[in-house]
Amino acid sequence: MASTTRTAHPREKRVIFKNIDRPGWTNDIGCYLQDGGYEDLKKAIAMNPQDIVTEVKTSALRGRGGAGFLCGVKWGFIKPGGSKPVYLICNADESEPGTFKDRYIIHQDPHQLLEGMIISCFAVNARLAYIYIRGEFPEGAKILERALAEAREHGFLGKNILGSGFDLEIYVFRGAGAYICGEETGLIESMEGKRPYPRIKPPYFPAVLGLYLCPTIVNNVETLCNVKYIVRMGGAEYAKVGTRVLCVSGDVQRPCYCEFEVGGITMGELIYDICGGLKPGRTLKAVIPGGSSAKVMSAKDRYKIKTKQPDGTIRENEMGLEDVPIDFETLAAAGSMAGSGGVIVMDDTRDMVWALNNINEFYAHESCGQCTPCREGSLWMKKITARMLHGGGVPEDSDTLKRVADNIAGRTICAFGEACAWPTQSFLDKFPEEFVATAKRMGNGNGSTNH
């Protein structure tokens, strides 16, 4: 681990990331216990598991893995008293370009994750849980193994945890080195020793037919950490003050991770106040707000956002990109998504065909290849943008790109279909003239390719 530490910006509200880069902080259990660690577990384990589920429902906690699914609703799919075992899997496959938060939790504060996980397992009555960690995080896997051993020694894992009668084991499972292993059903297939081909839903909803076809809860690292604070402060309070970690990359002076109350900061504040602004002489062109698959937002656009006023009325505000607050509903209303929290900033020097081609390369490389539209479409889109960049553009390219993307989104087995189609759809929607210009400028007009 790099030893450079960064101090939190005064505007941040560090909860999940409280111990990240904290002076004097180490990732062993002693340090964690001195700081009040595992107290939330003690509180939780004295509660009725169903009450924890209710608190999580009240908290309106949304999944931090990308889809923003309501965690309490997901947990509610597990019916108590079923005949099959329930599994819980922590999704630590973090691979979405622009996203780098889970790795810090694992490296620097693994016990926070374990505590959140143990509480979550208790709530959904899972007696066996796994942390599926990205294959490229060998150090993280070692740290987790050690943390698990420590937790076992202290009686937070194993038989009869804290005298409650609740038994739980957690194991680390090292991922298979592909982005698609992060898709929850692909992840489950991979854990079963198969290719990580995502499953069709219906019928294979993890909460019904998950790992070994048993009910399974899959949650992101950050999501599970939040459960600890919901237990501590109660769901209603959390709903008001819950935080979210953001990862900022791209054309800012100081790329970073940071944490704010959900909706507690606007795009402009994030870029200019937290990340030191753009490079000298540059202007903001676009932002991808939630990992590479989120739809791109243009700085030229005006966004009409409905907000609830304190008196309960709804007001529609029109605003520029820099004034858009970063929360789930607003970004969705603005036509994109909060996704995985990876904010990618692009300034006016960025060529949008180049940027899209960069994203297309990733998705063409990572499509698992199981279903036709994504398998063939993701590579086709990449080939078109690559050809345009290398001087072989033709006037039809924009139209073809859009139609290829339209033929993928909504027609695939898993959400990778949208993940690879949305960039193309949104780049063409927001910056059509750049695509036309690239095709014209570089095109030889006869449609021949040069490879």
Partner 1 sequence: MSAPSELLNVQIDGIWHQFQKGTRVIEACAQAGKFVPHYCYHPKLSSPGNCRMCLIEIGMPKLGPDRKPETGTDGKPLINWIPRPQISCAQDISEGMGIRTESPMVKECRNGVMEFLLINHPLDCPICDQAGECQLQEYSVEFGTAGSRFLEEKVKKPKRVEIGPRVTLDDERCILCSRCIRFMKEVAHDDVLGFVSRGSHTYLTAHPDRLLDSNYSLNTVDICPVGALTSSDFRFKMRVWFLKETKSICTSCATGCNTIIGTRQNQVFRQTPRENDAVNSAWMCDYGRLNYHYVNSTDRLQTPQIREGQELVNTTWNSALVKAGEELKQFSKDGIAVVASAKMTNEELWLTKNLTELVGTSHCDIIPRSGAADDILMSADRNPNTLGAQLIGLTGEKPGLRLKDIAEGVRSGTIKAVLALGEDLTQIGLQADELKKLASLIVLDILPTETTRSATVLLPSSAFCEKRGSMINIKGRLQRLHRATQPPGAARDDWEIVRDLIQKLTGSNGIYLIEDVFKQMTDSIPDMNGLSLSRIGDKGVQLVEETEEAPAAI
Ligand X SMILES: Cc1cc2nc3c(=O)[nH]c(=O)nc-3n(C[C@H](O)[C@H](O)[C@H](O)COP(=O)(O)O)c2cc1C
Q: Which residues bind partner 1 (CB under 8 A)?
A: 178, 195, 197, 200, 202-203, 364-373, 375-380, 383-384, 387, 392, 394, 396, 400, 403, 406-407, 410-413, 447-449, 451
Among 42, 195, 201, 375, binds ligand SF4 (CB under 6 A): 375
Residue 290's alpha-carbon distances to 98, 293, 345, 444, in angstroms, are 8, 7, 11, 36
Beta bridge partners of 62: 70
State yes or no: residue 292 binds ligand X (CB under 6 A): no
Among 27, 99, 190, 367, binds ligand SF4 (CB under 6 A): 367
Binds 220: which of ligand SF4, ligand X, partner 1, none (CB < 5-8 Å by kind) = ligand X
Residue 235's alpha-carbon distances to 231, 259, 432, in angstroms, are 7, 19, 45
Residue 35 half-sphere exposure toward CB, CA atoms < 13 A: 15
What are the CB-based long-range contacts (under 8 Å, 24+) for 441-448? 441/393, 442/388, 442/389, 442/390, 442/391, 442/392, 442/393, 443/388, 443/391, 443/392, 443/393, 443/394, 443/395, 444/391, 444/392, 445/394, 445/395, 446/394, 447/392, 447/394, 448/392
* Chain centroid, CA 434 distance in Å: 29
Beta bridge partners of 173: 132
State yes or no: residue 189 binds ligand X (CB under 6 A): no
State yes or no: residue 424 binds ligand SF4 (CB under 6 A): no
Sequence-ordered alpha helix ranges (H) in 271-346: 328-333
Residue 39's alpha-carbon distances to 26, 43, 207, in angstroms, are 18, 6, 29
Name the one range near ligand SF4 by CB under 6 A: 45-53, 136-144, 247-255, 410-418.
410-418
CB of 174 to ligand X, least distance (A): 14
Map residues 189-228 to x or -, x wherever contact with ligand SF4 holds by CB under 6 A. ---------x------------------------------
Binds 267: which of ligand SF4, ligand X, partner 1, none (CB < 5-8 Å by kind) = none
State yes or no: residue 370 binds ligand SF4 (CB under 6 A): yes
State yes or no: residue 414 binds ligand SF4 (CB under 6 A): yes
What are the CB-based long-range contacts (under 8 Å, 24+) for 191-197? 191/89, 191/130, 191/132, 195/368, 196/368, 197/368, 197/370, 197/413
CB of 226 to ligand X, least distance (A): 9
CB of 179 to ligand X, least distance (A): 6
* Residues 62, 57: Cα–Cα separation, whole Å: 10
Is the four-CA dihedral 324, 427, 365, 354 of positive or negative sign? Answer: negative
* Residues 109, 119: Cα–Cα separation, whole Å: 16
The count of residues interacting with ligand X (CB under 6 A) is 24
State yes or no: residue 220 binds ligand X (CB under 6 A): yes
Binds 449: which of partner 1, ligand SF4, ligand X, none (CB < 5-8 Å by kind) = partner 1
Written as six digits, the tokens of 230 are 């919901």
Binds 94: which of ligand X, partner 1, ligand SF4, none (CB < 5-8 Å by kind) = ligand X
Map residues 408-447 to x or -, x wherever contact with ligand X holds by CB under 6 A. ------xxx--x----------------------------
Q: Under a CB-based contact definition with an 8 Å cutoff, are residues 16 and 232 in contact?
A: no
Nearer to ligand X, 32 or 362 (CB): 362
**Counting Cβ atoms within 10 Å, is residue 23 exposed (0-12), middle (13-18) or buried (19+)?**
exposed
Nearer to ligand X, 49 or 175 (CB): 175
Nearer to ligand X, 37 or 65 (CB): 65
Binds 66: which of ligand SF4, partner 1, ligand X, none (CB < 5-8 Å by kind) = ligand X
The count of residues interacting with ligand SF4 (CB under 6 A) is 14
Q: Which residues bind ligand X (CB under 6 A)?
A: 63-67, 69, 91, 93-96, 179-180, 182-184, 218-220, 223, 414-416, 419
Q: Which residues bind ligand SF4 (CB under 6 A)?
A: 180, 198, 367-371, 374-375, 412-414, 416-417
